[in-house]
Structure 1
Amino acid sequence: MNLSERLSRISLRWRILIPFLVVSLGVSFAATYVLGRSLESQVYEQADQEVRQEALLTASYLEREQTYIVSQLTLAVEEGRMLTGENASLVDMMSQLDLGSIMSMLGFGGESLVKADLVKIVDQDGKAVLNLNRDLVMGRDLDDGALIARGLQGASTGGIVTTIDGKSAYLVGAAPFGDSGAYSLIMFGTKIDREMLSSTGLAERILFAYTNGGIAACSTASHKSENWAQALAVRENTRPLVGGDRYVMASAPVTVNDEQSPLSVAVVMPVDTLAAEAAGYWTRTWLIFAAGAATLLLAGFIVARRVADPIRQMTRATGRLKKGDFGTRINVTRDDEIGELARAFNTMGEELKARDESLAESFNEVKRLSETDALTGLLNHRMINERLAQELARAQRYGGRFGLIVIDLDNFKLLNDTHGHPVGDETLRRFGELLVREMREVDFIGRHGGDEFMIVLPECGPPEIAGAAEKLQSVLADSPLETPDGSLIPLQMSLGVACYPEDGQDVNTLIALADANLYLSKSRGGNTVTGTQMTDLSPEDITVYGMLGSLVTIVDNKDRYTRHHSEEVTEWALSLGKVLGLSDESQKVLRVAGLLHDIGKIGVPDRILRKPGRLTEEEYEAIKQHTLLGDAIVAAIPDLSEVRAAVVAHHERYDGKGYPHQLSGEDVPLLGRILAVTDAYSAMITDRPYRKALSVQEAVAELEAGRGGQFDPRCVDAFIQALDSFDEAVTTEGFDDAF
């Protein structure tokens, strides 16, 4: 499974929460880090400011000390003048200074106004008369030429004086004495040392006094080293690294009389002293980050839940909607976009529910129309056959039984032709209502085709079936049809009955047997119920009737026009045969031949059979084959040789130009010649997709024009005579009186 597939399986809550947390925590971490760095920087900046301020304070302290020394020295000189006179000479001045006083000033005992580390007296020529230093008693060489020159000009002065090597530095005051224009100079100085620096700084600070020559003094002896001398030499380095340790350092020059002296001071703070403070800031910063992260996490869960939970609810609702639960709704309590989406979902659910109900109604209506006959409201041909098959399967599974009744209204075509199709349709509707009213609710009733009906009676044996059939006959006899003119027409029906399992083990056998019994009922004059328990026919006879009934049903299913045409041809043929004086036996054969004369068309493709235009040569050749195919079909039925001869010859011509065998004259069987005339006449007076029907007069004229050519002259003359005296009582319903 690749990464994209794994990511696609992450729930919406985590898809919202993870990016939210990553971005939020990332921003928070960055902000926290910047804040920590800022606070840490502030610590160091504050330390920089402190050490800079302390350096300036130290330099200022040294300046004040130097000023104090000058003032004290001036007072001392004035005191000496008072003792020796205003114009006392150097010798007089020296006479007033005893060794004890000098040693006291140098800090070796006694009290003095000035605490000095060096004393130097210079005559008016600038030569040192006395030069004492606390370190070595005898003073070392000082870089004090500029200071001496200013003092010999007669004004008290002071400054910072270093040794020639720059290793020591002194705060020095100089006071002149003597005659005007010839001054001598007395100088006192205090050494800048560790004691002095320690008294000016904080305990955690390190103070340096240094010159270009090196470190003059340090507040801690351990830091007065060459490494620090090198670090102090780089004034721009405020964060020196010395001995592996980092420090914060600031320096400031020491000025005297607004002039920069050779001495500078530096204040140094170890970074370690700042680490604890910086660590405290970092600790507080990360605590803030942790609190913020927890808050963000909680906020993320709240946001993700507020967004993801409604969407998850809508997802579940959509799943239920997908499964057909169109009553699913989402409780809307929000006014934001998710609330709008939920309301839109509910609206969609309502529309889907309404549409589903409408579709269900339409489906049920379409189903009803597809399963029922439009005229009677009964099951149609397909559905009654399906119910029969289902009942057969049920009876076979559970060892049950059932009955089958096939009904045909007697003389229905005559009724249609006499009173019109609206009356015929009303008769079929009323008959369907009668069947529904009189049969049980568990029975299946269907219109099998035309005026033929079928009833399946679950859990019924021969006695119950016979009783139901006879009941229907009785009720129908008591329900005459009232025509628009007020006359009452009695209705009768023929019934054929079959029972499972006594009469057959499959649908086709049961239908064939019921059809055969139906035709037996009609052959007996109609208004009769026939079943295997009610007739003395042999099984062979029943089989023949069943096969003939099946053939007629096949023709009807193939093409309703062919069925109607065959019945009409049979009707005219029987009238013509009567004029010609055919025997009853020949009339029976002619009836069957008329019904089956186009049976071969079941093998002609529908696109040719129903083509609404002139046929091509290839299509016409295909049509011509139907006589041979009909011959082959009828040949399969025993004892129908005469029927077969008439069927195969009904398209032969009297002049020998017909098909399929080009017979001529008397060689064409008489029944074939009769069917040729009535077949042509029926075709001419019937509307077809490719032409309008001819009138009776036009059709008769065509027949007369074909005398001796296409038709037997004797048959044409007899047919015209039959038309003039046609007896409407002659009908063709099934195989009435055929056998």
Structure 2
Amino acid sequence: MHSPIALRRVSIAWKLTGFFFLFGVLLSYAAFLSFGRITTTIALRVGTSIAANAFSGIFTDRGESCVANLAGSPNERLVALEQRMPFLTSHEAFTGLSLYGRAPNGRWIRFFKGFDGFIDKALALPAEADALDTLSRRLVAIRLGMVHFVPRAVPAFLSLPPGADGTEWALGADVDATGIKDFIFDNGGETALFGFLLAALSLVLGRLFARRFTRPLIRLAGAADEYGRGVGPALFDGARRDEIGQLGRTLSGMAEEIERRRAETEARMATMEAMNRIDKAVLSTSSRSELLTRVAAIIDGTMKSDAVSIALRDDDRGGWSIGALSLADDKNPIQSAYQPFVPDGMLEPGLGERFSGYCEMPIRDTGRVIYSLAYDALSSEEGLLAASPLRADGRYLGALIVIVGREGSLSADERRTFTMLADQAAVALRSILEREAREDNFMGVIRSLSRAIDAKSRWTAGHSERVSESAVALGEALKLSADELDTLRTSATLHDVGKIGVGEAILDKPGKLTPEEYEHIKLHPEVGASMLEGIRSFEPVVPAVLHHHERWDGSGYPSGLVGEGIPLAARIIAVADVWDAIRDDRPYRKGYSLADAVTFMEEQSGRMFDPRLVEAFLAIGSKT
């Protein structure tokens, strides 16, 4: 859980400045300590020289016998020694003056003035003995420690001249370690000024060094922040040869890898989106030409190519059918109906075989036909052709071909996208081919059914197929969609399916039908509709079959619909049905001449038929 109080970010430069300042303060404290130690040691070294001269003058016999006999002698020699060293006896920092001696192979003994006027002795303490042992290597032994602000006395030892037999001598005194504290109190102004100047110098130098050190880090952080927020490119300085330069180069490498992966992800997402759009096109498109044109346009937009073509292999004809062609240049649109056939003989030898696998080649090497097509797309002689086979269920269907206006090969990502789209295009092509096969089978069943109905009477043989052809021609003149034309074709073929329940005697009757017979034959639209409405594939055609005998003025059957209330497909079939009926011979009359048939249609315009449909039907040149 985040705190409601947002903490202000502290710059690393100020952190480093603080570290430098703290280092300066500690350095000034260490300087005071060193000053105290050095001054004390110098004073003791000077005192050692004076003490050595005084000791030599008073103690002429400094051998082992002196160590043995000194205790119990009068204090005068120690008093005389003190008087010869006024720098110790007169300075309040030095107290507890003692003389130390050690015979060869003996132990250190401390000699001091006794209260009874005679010199006393005692064994040196272990700590004193350890310090005295170091005098063989130096003149002064002192242990001030690091605590200079707590009042205490620390021992100091001065080396004295030894005896002729090697007897060692030393002078000991207690030194007051509060000298630095006293120095600060006695020189408060100067000490404060010195401390302030040293602290200020530490702060200024720390700030300068911190800024110089952190400036490249700040630039790296700023560049990383801008790149992270997406407001700037990855500009990480990697020119330096130190660790910061290495960090910049590492960040640059990471940013390049991120950009590469992002571009790869975007390309894959675009490919998946294109494949999804191809799937949707399969579901929403019924004709092969429309589907392939849409697929080519989707691939063209995804590949950002200059031209995309779907070439379908036709082994029966020995060549290639250009199923779709999409150009990136809007000034040169290629209509979906543009599907030329290219025989194998027009291609360069071996080129067709290369299309059966993935291949790339400069367009100048593709031969006259493809080179001409590529030149129209690029308006240039430079470019690349790439082809990927279209295969489904092990069957070779053709090739997907793209043309790009640059030299060199496709990148690995482009190749992957291209082959994935080719596989998806093959799936779409397989779907439309399977749909066409199902529709062919479906239409075969319908034609067989309509022929069976027409065969009930020799006068109506071929009637349903002729009505279907005329109705589709009229629908094309009205610019109906492919789906609407397919529904119209099926409806027209099955419009008289209900007559399967009408006897041949009525259908072939040479004279006029009785009212009962006419009522019976008027039932065939409803009988046909009831036969088809239970079959899902036939549901779209039911309205046209049911209402193809309705009249524009409302006098038709079975529902008496009027004008635009009659389904358009039913109105179209009505025109085609009556036209074929009056032009053909019947058992009760001869067929109309062309002129008489046209006159009849014009007279019935607005009565039996939709006037707009009659005008369009007669304008397209009706079939005889």
- The TM-score, its normalising length taken from structure 1, stands at 0.29
- The TM-score, its normalising length taken from structure 2, stands at 0.33
